[in-house]
Structure 1
Amino acid sequence: MALRSISLPGNFGLRALHLAWACCALIAWQVESHAAEDFSLRDGDTVVFLGDSITAARTYTKIIENYTLLRFPQRRIRFYNAGIGGDTAAGSLARLERDVFSRRPTVLTVCFGLNDIGWGLKADDEHKALYVNSLRTIIDKCQERKIRVFICSGPITAEDPDKGEAGYLQKMCDEAFVMAKAKGAGTIDVQRPMREIQRRVLKVNQGIADESKHTRLHLADGVHLNDLGHLAMAYAFLQGFNAPGDISQAEIDIPTKKVTAAGCRISDVRQLDDGCEFTRLDDGLPFNNGLFFALNFAYVPLHRDFNAYRLKITGLADGRYEVTVNGRSTAKFTAKQLAAGVDIASTTTSAWQPGGPWDAQATVLRSLTEARHEVDTARLLSRLYLADQPIVAELDRKSQPAEEQLIELQRLAARPRPYHFVIRPAAEAP
């Protein structure tokens, strides 16, 4: 992300602030243009996730949805889940029209594998050929409809990561990648990024004697994912979608009155006797997912790679400072830390409360996304279990307005707002 700076002479006069707004607007446009070129999900896209029970859990898919809504709030992108427990690539062919094409997608992700080889009991050339040929058929049907399709390897199991890397499932998925690339389809390697995370987890577990306290990516069956496993899977997807790095950066040098910004606009800068204040308006917001969720980033470097929300203040006197945003206490740092630059995406001064207002907005968004998926799940269950009942059509018809309203509420919650920052000395702790 390119950074450009401007100097605000004198007392940050009106003309200088106008110049700041104009320059930062240009910076923001350049940052968004670069992201638009690289990130795979575009304005106007409808994304459908096709897969088995891990997709049907709607956990990694909601992480991707919320990340995208927060990071690219100006893009109108819809997300739908077409996961069915126990399904295979071959089995999904019979429901493509009902569960996928009826949504009129522009993007389809396809994530199968473990069921296709019967959890390892049918790991042979016959089932591999059926898997690859079924994916080939899905690609052909999507390309006929001008749908951008991404073939994804299935997630890892709890087996040793080194054995898994040399195992049948990885080789089968790699063969499917060769076919998909030859046909011009996209591919997302889910397994290798997940194994790197798994290796970090296992390394930490080596120092913990009590196995009941070990961190894991999987449930007891060693196949289905827990929340950390789904976050690892979402991280792999964001890698495959070429997610951009920093959300935004804001730097203010108090003595020289120089403002540097990227991905945001800085205005109303004032030097205080003991600190400073300013207004920050971002193009996108950082992803957060509830209380204590940031602890998972010790293993999954999503914030480091795709989600940094940076602040740098130089020229403060030595001491400890509190960062207050829209009246919310967000973080406390030393002057040295602020001068080096800090990431405040998930900082909070109370583990029981969201940090900055962007964290609170993400919390609201998460509930709205859950609500929308509950409505969609009800429609899915009615089609599966009440297929011969008139209630199915009535539910479909009457849930449409609710879905549209929830989508608009999601976008409202994810929309960036002007945030008023105040940096002043922190009160001494008792």
Structure 2
Amino acid sequence: MRILPLLSIFLAAVSLRAEYLLPPNARVAVIGDSITEQKIYSKYIETYLLACTGRSDIHVFQFGWSGERAGGFAARLENDLAVFNPNVATTCYGMNDASYRPYAPEIGAEYEKNMRLVVDGLKKVGVKVMAIGSPGGVDPDYFKKNVTGQDYNDNLSHLRDIAKKLAEENKQPFANVYDTMISALTKSKAALGKEYGPFGGDGFHPAPAGQLLMAQAFLKALGFDGDIGRITIDMKGPNTASTGHTVKGLQLGSVTLESTKWPFVFDADSSSAGSNRSILPFTSFNQDLNRFTLKVVNLGSAKAKVTWGTQSKEFSREQLEAGVNL
């Protein structure tokens, strides 16, 4: 059985929840400090929005600024965003706001004050949807500042809680970047050792593996349910597909699809932190955001080999009846 996705010129709708959070003609501003300015997690967000939703009315621009704190963006917000006119924004501040020392109440108070200015400023320029992000975390094995990585993560966790509070107060989605990153870091270190560095060589400017975790947190906050496609092949009856896909034929065990929504594609290297694929065993990106499900019913044999592109895998009749994520 072979799956051959083909390009189609037709447009498809995204899930209702994501449509609600991303309005028609969405203009998404990705905002933050030098971590955002790396233009990696913003690229992953843009790729997902353009390739995985079936929509052509989404525009993305990143507004990262090296060394910036929330107060710095509040000061430049109106001037810098005016030309783009965003109606959706993601924010990721806190790494610099935490001041590279253990947490103290004045750090939290200053961060909260400036993030309130950011939220109010975004409302003023017409942003309707804000995925208010927490800061990420640091890798204690690589983080070399005047504070230990453990103590700095404690500091950042306080700012996470403040960002969550502001999101709830303003009835906006919260992107839990911190927990998404720290959870995957802990699991990956246990499996691969302390040399594995998804948060980059300095422990806080993430490599592509860590940047994928950031994109994951923001995409989940924006409401995407990960249902890229559902294809049902009935060996004795009609074949069906979810919105964005059309089954064009089933001949000689080969299924041909026309698709306007594609799964998110990862780098090839499965071991280096310089590859976003390497973090996949330690996070739920594919389960939460990247499900392209094939279901086969009325299969005449106990098992079947599914080939999609150059990849092949064998599944039992029971697995195919339940559905497998390609």
Give TM class, smaller chain.
0.7 to 0.9
Counterparts of 1:88-99 in structure 2, within 5 Å, are: 88-99=69-80
Residue 253 of structure 1 and its aligned partner are, at CA, apart by 2.6
How far does the alpha carbon of each residue in 1:337-380 deviate from its partner, in whole angstroms, 9 at most, with x for none? 77354333xxxxxxxxxxxxxxxxxxxxxxxxxxxxxxxxxxxx
Are the counterparts in 1 of residues 45 and 215 from structure 2 also a CA contact under 8 Å?
yes
Report the counterpart of residue 38 of structure 2 in structure 1.
Answer: 57
**CA 1:316 to 1:323, structure 2 compared with 1: closer, same or farther past 3 Å?**
farther
Report the counterpart of residue 282 of structure 1 in structure 2.
Answer: 259
How far does the alpha carbon of each residue in 1:242-272 deviate from its partner, in whole angstroms, 9 at most, with x for none? 2112211212132x224243232223333x3
Q: Counterparts of 2:166 and 2:304 in 1: how far apart (Å)?
A: 57
Unpaired runs of 5+ residues, structure 1, are 1-27, 345-430
Are the counterparts in 1 of residues 14 and 54 from structure 2 also a CA contact under 8 Å?
no
How far does the alpha carbon of each residue in 1:197-224 deviate from its partner, in whole angstroms, 9 at most, with x for none? 112112213xx5xx5xx32222232221
Structure number with bigger Rg: 1
Residue 63 of structure 1 and its aligned partner are, at CA, apart by 0.5
SS in 2 for 1:120: coil
SS in 2 for 1:247: strand
Report the counterpart of residue 290 of structure 2 in structure 1.
Answer: 307
SS in 2 for 1:115: coil
TM-score, normalisation: structure 2: 0.80
Residue 117 of structure 1 and its aligned partner are, at CA, apart by 2.3
Which residue of 165, 171, 185 maps to 1:198?
A: 185
How far does the alpha carbon of each residue in 1:303-359 deviate from its partner, in whole angstroms, 9 at most, with x for none? 2221122223352546764636xxxx4322336277354333xxxxxxxxxxxxxxx
Report the counterpart of residue 323 of structure 1 in structure 2.
Answer: 307
Q: Counterparts of 2:306 and 2:282 in 1: how far apart (Å)?
A: 28
CA RMSD for the aligned pairs? 2.8
Equivalent AA in structure 2 for residue 284 of structure 1: K
Matched, 1:82 2:63: yes
Q: Counterparts of 2:96 and 2:167 in 1: how far apart (Å)?
A: 20
Are the counterparts in 2 of residues 165 and 192 from structure 1 also a CA contact under 8 Å?
no
**CA 1:316 to 1:163, structure 2 compared with 1: closer, same or farther past 3 Å?**
farther
Which residue of 234, 237, 247 maps to 2:218?
A: 237
SS in 2 for 1:102: coil
**CA 1:139 to 1:47, structure 2 compared with 1: closer, same or farther past 3 Å?**
same
Counterparts of 1:286-365 in structure 2, within 5 Å, are: 286-292=263-269, 293-314=276-297, 315-317=299-301, 321=305, 323=307, 329-334=309-314, 336=316, 339-340=320-321, 341-344=323-326
Q: Counterparts of 2:217 and 2:262 in 1: how far apart (Å)?
A: 20
Report the counterpart of residue 183 of structure 1 in structure 2.
Answer: 170
Equivalent AA in structure 1 for residue 106 of structure 2: E
**CA 1:153 to 1:319, structure 2 compared with 1: closer, same or farther past 3 Å?**
closer
Residue 164 of structure 1 and its aligned partner are, at CA, apart by 6.5
Are the counterparts in 1 of residues 86 and 126 from structure 2 also a CA contact under 8 Å?
no
Q: Counterparts of 2:172 and 2:288 in 1: how far apart (Å)?
A: 25
Report the counterpart of residue 262 of structure 1 in structure 2.
Answer: 242
How far does the alpha carbon of each residue in 1:33-61 deviate from its partner, in whole angstroms, 9 at most, with x for none? 534445x3233111111111100001111
**CA 1:93 to 1:311, structure 2 compared with 1: closer, same or farther past 3 Å?**
same
Matched, 1:126 2:106: yes
Q: Counterparts of 1:195 and 1:171 in 2: how far apart (Å)?
A: 14
**CA 1:186 to 1:335, structure 2 compared with 1: closer, same or farther past 3 Å?**
closer
